């Protein structure tokens, strides 16, 4: 055996390859961030112009595509109502399903089936959930286009997100905590309600907010269920409503500068709402676990 001495340097080719990949990896990250910066920059730049009181307090009633002015009040109200209703439907079902999967399912056939379809449901295209509500609620049951129909479609998109995040949080609750409660003679359901859910509470809130942020920006399901209106309609159960994403889509499709300006401002408002929800959710998570993983 030949014994070499001293540190044996590695070849220049290997070193170069390592450097090359490093450059590629940094480049990939830069490439991913460029569109984000471009989108945010243009939304702020083009959206600030019409981001005024009139925009936030007026509807589009009697305002044509060429007219300046007009606002998204009707759309903002619509979005808030639709998202709130969607949450009222999706959160209880999602949370209870998560409780079932973690506390009662015990890895049985039903729980595995539900778990699988929750994953599959995450992949249901938003336009399909809109079509489903259209087919079922509006065409078969003969209900009108309404904010509530939109909320139904949004709730289908919310449910799997709520289930997954709540499930993850519930599983983080230490076993010992549950056992301590059982040892005191507290029944299982009271243990879940009084011990497990409160422990996981902030995590669950974070998950719900992320789910809300996701559906607040959905357009396609609203298009098929809420329809479009230029007037204020505060009743989510009756007649067409507007939604902020729908408003952006509608204005973007009109071929005048004033309409495009309104679309940008609508986009800015929408992004502010969604980012705010995201930020608050992240802050809650961050505040809960200061020592983050690598």
Partner 1 sequence: MRRSAFRRSRGDGPFRFASTGAGVVLLAIMAAIGVFLVVKAVPALQANTSHFLTELTWQPNATKPVFGIAALAFGTVLSSLLALLIATPVAIGVALFISHYAPRRLASVLGYVVDLLAAVPSVVYGLWGVTFLVPFMLGPSKFLNDYLGWIPLFGGDTVVGKSMLTASLVLAIMILPIIAAISREVFLQAPKMQEEAALALGATRWEMIRMSVLPFGRPGVISAAMLGLGRAMGETIAVALIFPATFKISFQILGPSGNSIAANIANGFGEATEVGRGALIASGLVLFVITLLVNMGARFVIARRKEYARAAA
Partner 2 sequence: MAKQIEVAGLDAYYGSHKAIEGISMTIEPRSVTAFIGPSGCGKSTFLRTLNRMHEVIPGARVEGKVRLEDQDLYGADVDPVSVRRTIGMVFQRPNPFPTMSIFDNVAAGLKLNGRFSRSELDGIVEDSLKGANLWNEVKDRLGKPGAGLSGGQQQRLCIARAIAVRPQVLLMDEPCSALDPISTLAIEDLISQLKQDYTIVIVTHNMQQAARVSDKTAFFNLAAQGQPGKLVEMDETSKIFTNPAEKATEDYITGRFG
148 scored as a contact of partner 1 (CB under 8 A): no
**Which option in partner 1, partner 2, none does residue 110 bind, with CB closer than 5 to 8 A by kind?**
partner 1
Q: How far is the CB of 33 from partner 2 (least distance, A)?
A: 23
Closer CB to partner 1, residue 232 or residue 271?
271
129 scored as a contact of partner 1 (CB under 8 A): yes
**Which option in partner 1, partner 2, none does residue 200 bind, with CB closer than 5 to 8 A by kind?**
none
Binder to partner 1 among 111, 199, 202, 256 (CB under 8 A)? 111
27 scored as a contact of partner 1 (CB under 8 A): yes
Closer CB to partner 1, residue 219 or residue 233?
219
Does residue 238 contact residue 215 with C-beta atoms inside 8 Å?
Answer: no
Tell the residue number behind the tokens 């990250």, with chain if given: 29
Classify burial at 20, counting beta carbons within 10 Å of its beta carbon; exposed 0-12, middle 13-18, buried 19 or more.
exposed
Classify burial at 124, counting beta carbons within 10 Å of its beta carbon; exposed 0-12, middle 13-18, buried 19 or more.
middle
172-204 residues labelled b (16+ CB within 10 A) or e (exposed): ebeeeebeebeeeebeeeebbeebbbebbeebb
Stretch that binds partner 1, among 54-62, 143-151, 168-176, 248-256 (CB under 8 A): 248-256
Report the candidate in 67, 77, 61, 57 with the shortest Cα–Cα distance to residue 229: 61
Binder to partner 1 among 49, 125, 174, 198 (CB under 8 A)? 125
Closer CB to partner 2, residue 14 or residue 66?
14
Q: How far is the CB of 116 from partner 1 (least distance, A)?
A: 7
Q: Rule CB under 8 A: which residues touch partner 2?
A: 1-11, 14-15, 294
Measure the CA–CA gap between 21 and 19, rounded to whole angstroms.
5
Tell the residue number behind the tokens 């490093």, with chain if given: 22
């Amino acid at each position: 055996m030949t014994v070499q001495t001293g540190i044996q340097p590695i070849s220049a080719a290997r070193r170069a390859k390592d450097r090359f990949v490093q450059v590629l990896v940094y480049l990939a990250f830069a490439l991913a961030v460029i569109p984000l910066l471009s989108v945010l920059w243009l939304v702020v730049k083009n959206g600030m112009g019409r981001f005024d009181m009139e925009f936030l307090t007026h509807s589009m009633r009697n305002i044509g595509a060429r007219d300046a002015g007009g606002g998204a009040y009707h759309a903002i109200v619509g979005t808030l109502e639709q998202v709130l209703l969607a949450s009222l439907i999706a959160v209880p079902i999602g949370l209870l399903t998560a409780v079932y999967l973690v506390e009662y399912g015990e890895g049985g056939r039903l729980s595995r089936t539900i778990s699988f379809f929750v994953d599959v449901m995450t992949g249901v295209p938003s336009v399909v959930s809109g079509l489903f509500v259209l087919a079922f609620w509006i065409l078969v049951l003969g209900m009108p286009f309404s904010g509530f129909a939109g909320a139904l479609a949004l709730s289908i998109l919310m449910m799997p997100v709520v289930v997954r995040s709540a499930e993850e949080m519930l599983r983080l609750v230490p076993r010992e905590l549950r056992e301590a409660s059982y040892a005191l003679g507290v029944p299982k359901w009271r243990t879940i309600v009084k011990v497990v859910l409160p422990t996981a509470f902030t995590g669950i809130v974070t998950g719900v907010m992320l789910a809300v942020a996701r559906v607040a920006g959905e357009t396609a399901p609203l298009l098929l269920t809420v329809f479009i209106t230029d007037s204020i309609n505060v009743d989510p159960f009756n007649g067409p409503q507007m939604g902020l994403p729908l408003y952006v889509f509608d204005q973007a499709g009109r071929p005048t500068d004033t309409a495009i300006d309104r679309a940008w401002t609508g986009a800015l408002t929408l992004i502010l709402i969604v980012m705010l929800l995201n930020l608050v959710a992240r802050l809650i998570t961050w505040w809960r676990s200061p020592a983050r993983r690598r």
